[in-house]
Chain A
Amino acid sequence: MGRSKVDLAIFVGKRVVWFVPVLFGLITITFFAGHASVRNPCAVWVGPHASPDTVRNCIEYFGVNRPVWDQYTGYLSNLFQGNWGKDPQGGQPVLPIILTLFPATIELLLAALFLMVVLGIPLGVIAANAGGRWPDHLVRLFYLGGWATPAYLGAVVLAIGIGPVLGLPNSGDFSSTPDPGWQLTHMSILDSILRLDTGALVDAIAHLILPAASLALLNLGIATRMTRSSMLEVLPLDYVKTARMKGLSDFWVLYKHALRNSLISTVTVLGTTAGSLLSWIVVVEEIFLWPGIGKYAFDSILSYNFAGTLGVVVFFAIVVVVANLVSDVLYGVLDPRVEWR
């Protein structure tokens, strides 16, 4: 136990190892929940107008009448061999689809988190510093408004109300489809940078603003509220007065001495928020036609694409775990009293 790099590595390593049983449990629950709630997925897979023969063939082919336990062990052994299964309707393997869609979702998520941090945290500082006077109320009105707005409504208002006024594109990630093979990572901004294409970069950023802003504006209340309340706790402390008594201006007192300590709790909350942002992302991607995993997740569930659903669950779980890990590490970095263990 301590604060050396080795201690940190052991800390991260332990957390990663712990992730394995968590993931295993998650796959198990999702698998059984899916299979228990759907008696005969073939009825959906072959469509309403298929002949009974087709349905029988389908049942035969996919083995959906086998005991669930057999199906489960079969799925797991495939998974261990790197075979994530196929979409029963289209027949495409699930993993390559997820790997092309998922980076775009991560990009949107990171952009939203970035906006939540650069807008939400200063708003919290302003509110705490105003402490009950009008800027405090104004900020509260702003973030509660965002919070109370349903995602579909807020995103639609931004997409068709505000986007056109500002001249911002409101669908997709690029104005024109990139050439095949141009996309390396499927993150529009990262690809533009890797290809050293400034035109594409500007285009990518413009396309990212509205979906990221709608996610951020609806959720930044969490960052603002947490920052405000922890700032209110920190501001009366003696070390803030010490900082003032050095002759530092309000700006440095607030944003260096006080905020640095308040961030410790804000970062923790933001880490847990990353997971809940994923559920909003499904709606936002749909509205802005963002080429992410949201639509795929939605379609997979509706079409009883078990392999697809499980794949999405695994990736969402990775996001949640990584976000929590990052926030735990940041917590320790921000607070020198924390020891890695």
Chain B
Amino acid sequence: MAPGRVVGIVGETGSGKSTLGQSIPRLLPEPPARIRQGRIVFQGSDLLSIPKWKMPIVRGTSIGMIFQEPINSLNPAFRVSDQLIEAVRIRKLRESGEAELFRPTEGFDYSKDRPVDPKEAIGRTFLPSAPEGRRPRAGRTSEELRKDALEYLRLVRINDPETILDLYPHELSGGMRQRIMIAMALSEKPTLLIADEPTSALDITIQAQVLTLMKELMDEVNTSILFISHDLGVIAEMADDVGVMYAGGIVEFGPVAEVFERPAHPYTKGLLESVPNRYKADGPLPSLPGSVPNLARLPSGCPFHPRCVFARPPCEPDPGPALEPVKGAPAGSNRRAACYYSEEVVRLK
């Protein structure tokens, strides 16, 4: 993910979107979860090689998260102020050097062909900006922390922050709670924000409000966002790139416009065709027979082959196809698919 870019993750329910999102900050309980292969490279460090007890340093200020269900994501026993100030305080402690701050590996370069100075992208303070010359060590009395917390509530367009701050989560609506969750995640100014279906549990009107808010904030905040959703329309609206998930793996990746225009994987194609008007991928897909396999017992070969209309040898034998650049896609478009016949699929109209 490039700094400041929004990557969408889309897939049917149970395809492993939340699992993917939570495995990045190593939030999954290990055991039972186990990351069997691959690496999680974040700003030049492999998060799998960091000792588990050091992971909290990466969380919050470097990787933030917004969860799916606003009903459960705030602690019912504490006031909004306690929970929000806690996050603000962690950022301050880490900035002032009183607590350890995760830093990009020396000489880390996002990518060779797009050299970006990560500091430029990460460190940019967006709100509330400390006055020039004021050391971060200041601003930690409870009134100042409270003032900062109020700033963040205003940032997420909460009208009466003074009142809201002193309430308990059960006294707030779902939309309000999700705004607070967003404020909390943003107050730590994370380099990477993982938003796991931030609007799926909300009413349709509130959903639109929160999405608009997030879209506005994305422009203000130079944070990379992993935006998870099962709603193709939302992804098209919010994301720059999209990763399509099936059976726990990414089967297609590329710029949203191109992927949705000319899918290179039969699953993406089916997904798009199944939602002609409302862009909703909930429930069984009419043009895709069958359902998502049990992830504990994946079919051999390409995991999609039992449902794939293109399936023919070598789709069946082990192992399944890897995520590789799509041949035949427009040059320089960075498209990848995990399909033996992606070249053929992408050419279809």
Contact = CB atoms under 8 A, between A and B. Distances in A.
Nearest to A336: B168
B64 A245 contact: yes
Interface stretch (B52-60, B146-154, B339-347): B52-60
A261 interface: yes
Interface in A13-48: none
Given A242-B67, A244-B27, A261-B77, A237 B56 contact: no
Interface stretch (B68-76, B208-216, B244-252, B325-333): B68-76
A248 B73 contact: no
Contacts of B63: 245
A325 to B, nearest CB: 21
Nearest to A236: B29
B86 interface: yes
B188 A247 contact: yes
B90 A247 contact: yes
B6 interface: no
A238 B76 contact: no
A239 B87 CA distance: 13
B170 interface: yes
Contacts of B65: 241-242, 245
A134 B96 CA distance: 39
B22 interface: yes
Q: Range of interface residues on chain B? A: 35 or more
A238 B66 CA distance: 10
A242 B71 CA distance: 12
Nearest to B84: A246
A243 interface: yes
Interface residues of A, number: 23
Interface string B74-107: 1111110001001100100010000000000000
A249 interface: yes
Contacts of B90: 246-248
A239 B27 contact: no
A130 to B, nearest CB: 11
Contact of A238 (B67, B86, B168, B185): B67
A210 to B, nearest CB: 36
Given A247-B56, A250-B56, A336-B170, A242 B86 contact: no
A168 interface: no
B73 A242 contact: yes
Contacts of B56: 244, 247-250
Contact of A247 (B57, B69, B74, B75): B57
B168 A248 contact: no
A225 interface: no
A66 interface: no
Interface in B100-123: none
B72 A238 contact: yes
Given A246-B59, A247-B59, A250-B53, A335 B76 contact: yes
B181 interface: yes
A261 to B, nearest CB: 5
Given A245-B185, A247-B60, A257-B78, 4 more contacts: A131-B29, A242-B73, A257-B75, A336-B79
8 contacts: A236-B29, A238-B73, A239-B73, A239-B74, A250-B56, A257-B75, A261-B75, A336-B76
